[in-house]
Structure 1
Amino acid sequence: MNKKAMFMTRLFLLLFLISHVCLAADAKKTTGDQKTEARAIMDGVYDSFVKVIPYVYSDEKNGGLLLKDSQQKVELLKNLTDISDYFKSARHVEYFQRPGFRPSLETINHHMDDTIRSVKNDNFAFAQKRMKALTALCISCHSQLSESASQNAFGTAINKAKRETFDSDFAYANYLFLVRRFSDSEKYFDLAIEKALKENQEHELYSSLRKEISIHTKIAFNVKQGNQMIARFEKDSRLPPLAKSSLMSWKKSLNKWKSFNPKKVKSIDRFIKTYLAPLESEKGQTAGGEHDVTLLVASGVLSKYLNDHPKTPLAPEILYWLSIAERRLSNTYFFSLSDLYLKDCIKLYPKSRFAKKCYTEYAENIEFGYSGSSGTDIPVEEKQELERLKGYLK
């Protein structure tokens, strides 16, 4: 296994180990027995997922091997089913039924059912995408935890995980990022960037820069520190043109947010109309990165508002815009939750005018995702999912 694969393997396992604590965090009435049961369930998930990892990050050739070796397919299905069964046996904490936390256990269960169905139908490419998306469910949980909850949730994991147990500064930085030790993670991302510049490792370079800017926009919102981060690297002659261009774009955008204070947002409706609605007409143009900072800030503001106001009538609209932000940012900042936000928008708020917009967005994403030089080839199970979601609309 090469170094990159080893890192992704360890990172994925850490995500699953960490995510089980989310089931108990912030739930004041959770008993010791429930916590013990949750840990036992996630230990089972961990044991089964170890055996699934080779398929999660393999290339398409390994997917073809499943068709040639029926025993491998049987083994993969067994482990995916075990993971699904463990999740279904978990006791879900009411706190995570809030719209901002759905992706939740219920979502994971539906997600696993679809994944298993895809493997059974020999649609490995689709199953692989779903297995990768599981990481997003974990990130969605613990990136939204309050500071007190995150300290309780990640304390044990933080104490056990030291730098020497990771293959690289990049791997350790990502771990610290996931457990919300943002100041420490930035230090190690800086080290990873220096190494990436020396060794021309573009993946680690871009990923590290993007994680750092996300800390200072979506997560902590500190324009001053964001500009300080950019200043550390913007004049480095080793920077590839695209990286330099991204830094300049972020710097320009950050300056527009200098007087903004997310804690003083009194009207989320006005916030959406001011910062996001203008992007509606140029939604397809956000891929250039010029709106990254706006989307990151908006994603942080909307997520927090939805968690603080789970019964807001603006929930479907917020889910729609969170989806739009995730769609652009997923491949470069986080794993995508875009489709899951759209599904919740449709299922939870079918009477909302945004439900139809969410369905249209989801259908277009699916059509685009399965279009190629040979035309559009949407899997049967995804067509069935489209029909199921359409049935919710009023």
Structure 2
Amino acid sequence: MKTSVVIFLSVIALTSCQSKPTNLEDTPGGDTYGFLPPPVWNASMQNLKQDMLTLEPFIFDKARFIDPANHEFLSKEIHKLAVESKNVKHDPVILTKDPTVRFVAEQFADELQKADENFKAGWPDYTRWQLAKVTSFCLECHTRIRQGPEFNPRDTARPFLNTLPVAEQIEFRIAFRQFNLAYGLALKNLQQIQSSTMVHEDADRIARLALLVSVQHMQDIEKTKKIIQAIERNSTLPLYLKKTNKLWKKSVAVWNPNEVFNQLPAIRNLISTRVSEIEDMRAIPALLRLLTEGQNRSELGESLFLTGESYESLNKISMMSLHENYYESCVRKAPRTKWAQLCFDKLSNSVALSYSGSGGTRIPRDIKNRMEELQKVIQRPVIE
């Protein structure tokens, strides 16, 4: 079910983004957080959209995707998508301000190239999963900032949405920047959810998604308190969630809504005194804004390290997290600094965990090659 939801969210997000100005969501104080908004869609992104619209019926239908009768057609369309991904152009201003855009764009194209190769090699199931994975990069860019693209309302009202589990519906609303709807749905379910199997399966995720909205996206302490109160008052929720909720309550108790995090030392202190994930949710918007400002190499390295670390701590909440990109960007942008080595170590641990199972750790050769190349970047002399 999870893979289907990834595919659904990713395809709809990519195909729904319109050539409109970005939608701004300011804080109560008038500040905006995060990277600069993406420009209106250029021809290359419009072509990507059309390619995905063509592939969408097949990605949703596994039987059609693996049907030999469709192999030639899909091979042609997937190859076309892979080629088009290399032609995506970004605003030069954004490439300057956002140190991860170029890297993510390159990884997006690389993954599609691999999907093209894997489909031709006879691995349709894996290719189908890869197509969902790469488009989730687009989702991440839509949701990590307070400034984001507008979506066609028709696409966010698809009948399929109502068939999803509640947690998936909430994540869908977050992906489309419908934060009020996401928050309301989460709060209602935490207040009304009754003892059943879904309590143990979904209540924890619903609670964390609710906090993701109220803390990171809305930056609203009062809405966050309502989430915590709802968990406290619902006696049917599992004990482990009640215990975790006490940590969230402690985090909120020291949350000063008037405190401004516009300097690295303040953000560093917030994260170092972490009580729960709430500190990471508060830090991320400030870090993303800081990354758009002028920093020396060491400051940039630390900012990227802290951003990756905070995103990694939120991995179990949502599918949309690219912490490894921040670690890798840290190595490349701040080589020969202590942050480069720290980021490399974090990245190495994350990669090893991703490819570990009951049979041990088996890291693919191309990933090993990339890690070896990154190690050399750290050792390479820095040319100022």
Using the size of structure 2 for normalisation, the TM-score is 0.77
Aligned with residue 264 of structure 2, among 241, 265, 268 = 268
Structure with more of its chain in helix, by fraction: 1
**1:34-88 Cα deviation digits (max 9, x unpaired):** 6455323312133235534567xx9xxxxxx98xx99998887655433322222
Instruction: Give the root-mean-square deviation of aligned CA atoms.
Output: 3.9
Structure 1 range deviating more: 163-172 or 367-376: 163-172
For 2:210, the aligned partner's letter is E
> What are the residue-to-residue correspondences of 1:276-287 with 2, within 5 Å?
276-277=271-272
Q: How many residues align?
A: 361
1:178 aligns with 2:180: no
Distance 1:278 1:182, change over 3 A: closer
**1:202-243 Cα deviation digits (max 9, x unpaired):** 444332211110122222222222011221232212112222
Partner of 2:112: 112
- Give the conservation status (yes or no) of the 8 Å contact 2:324–2:347: yes
Give the Cα separation in 1 of the matches to 2:3 and 2:360.
32
Paired-residue identity, % = 15
Partner of 1:47: 54
Distance 1:304 1:96, change over 3 A: same
Give the Cα separation in 2 of the matches to 1:368 and 1:86.
32
Long gaps (5+) in structure 2: 25-35
- Give the conservation status (yes or no) of the 8 Å contact 2:179–2:213: yes
For residue 336 of structure 1, give the secondary structure of its aligned residue in structure 2: coil
For 1:222, the aligned partner's letter is D
Q: CA deviation at 1:324?
A: 1.5
Partner of 1:285: none
- Give the conservation status (yes or no) of the 8 Å contact 1:52–1:80: no
For 1:275, the aligned partner's letter is L
For 1:345, the aligned partner's letter is C
For residue 291 of structure 2, give the secondary structure of its aligned residue in structure 1: helix
Distance 1:131 1:352, change over 3 A: farther
Partner of 2:205: 207
Aligned with residue 348 of structure 1, among 320, 333, 340 = 333
> What are the residue-to-residue correspondences of 1:1-394 with 2, within 5 Å?
7-18=5-16, 35=42, 38-52=45-59, 80-97=78-95, 98-99=98-99, 101=101, 104-116=104-116, 131=131, 133-147=133-147, 150=148, 153-154=149-150, 156-158=151-153, 161-162=156-157, 166-168=161-163, 170=166, 171-193=168-190, 197=194, 199-201=196-198, 202-257=200-255, 259-261=256-258, 264-272=260-268, 274-277=269-272, 291-307=276-292, 309=293, 313=297, 314-393=299-378, 394=380
Structure with the bigger RCO (C-alpha within 8 Å, sep 6+) is 2
Give the Cα separation in 2 of the matches to 1:219 and 1:39.
28
Distance 1:237 1:278, change over 3 A: closer
- Give the conservation status (yes or no) of the 8 Å contact 1:144–1:304: no
For residue 16 of structure 1, give the secondary structure of its aligned residue in structure 2: helix
Partner of 1:282: none
Q: CA deviation at 1:337?
A: 0.7
Q: CA deviation at 1:194?
A: 6.0
- Give the conservation status (yes or no) of the 8 Å contact 1:51–1:79: no
Q: CA deviation at 1:161?
A: 3.0
- Give the conservation status (yes or no) of the 8 Å contact 1:100–1:306: no
